[in-house]
Amino acid sequence: MVPMVKAVPVAEEDLLRARFYGLLAALLASPPDTEMLSRLRQLEGDDSPMGEALTRLSQAAADASHEQVVEEWNALFIGVTRGEVLPYASYYLTGFLNEKPLAVLREDMAQLGIARREGVPESEDHIVSLLEMMRGMIEGSFGEPFDLGCQKTFFEKHLKPWAGRFFADLETAGEAKLYRPVGAVGRLLMQIEGEAFEMM
């Protein structure tokens, strides 16, 4: 069971975490438009693994046109019958869509007061939804910011068991060009978050 929410002030390092979750959610929800591509081209990394992944993302954005990115996104996530990767917790954890992980997530969402966004066709265990939930828990989009204990419990139940594998699959997907470094950023974020929560 997810613990009750406690309001806490949002530290600068937590806002940075939220921005990473938000960036990944935006890139996975739909192909980046020309404005987003322009912003990605301005990213500057450092010599850390995450910094190097951000540099590769900037370079990939510089090499891509909007039309190419739309084609890539569709091949990865839509396809003719299905995309190359299926970004759902139920699929990664059970091999099928709409299974027990989705039901457990819905129970936790109800307890936490997180409602499904209207007009979104994908189920709540889609990676975009989970990333947006983490961002909202950090920033306070669902009322007050959730304390780190709540964030840890949610992350360890709903992202840690599978999201790293999803991002690794995206990183090595045959159709991935721009999304190869997106996969690296996501994989590293899941690793960093998991290690940080383990230290609590």
Q: Hey, where are the domains in the chain?
A: 12-198
61-96: burial string, b at 16+ Cβ within 10 Å, e else: beebeeeebeebbebbbeeeeebbbbbbbbbbbeee
- Helix, coil or strand: residue 113: coil
N-terminal to C-terminal alpha carbon distance within the chain: 18
Q: What is the pLDDT of residues 11-40, one digit of tens each?
A: 899 999 999 999 999 999 999 999 999 999
The answer to whether domain 12-198 has CATH 3.40.640.10 is no
Model pTM score: 0.93
Please, which residues have CB within 8 angstroms of residue 9's CB and are 6 or more apart in sequence? Answer: 145
3-class DSSP string for 24-79: HHHHHHCCCCHHHHHHHHCCCCCCCHHHHHHHHHHHHHHHCCHHHHHHHHHHHHCC
Task: Provide the 3-class DSSP secondary structure of residue 140.
Answer: coil
Percentage above 90 pLDDT, the chain: 88
User: What are the pLDDT digits (tens) for 107-164?
Assistant: 999 999 999 888 888 999 999 999 999 999 999 999 889 999 999 999 999 999 999 9
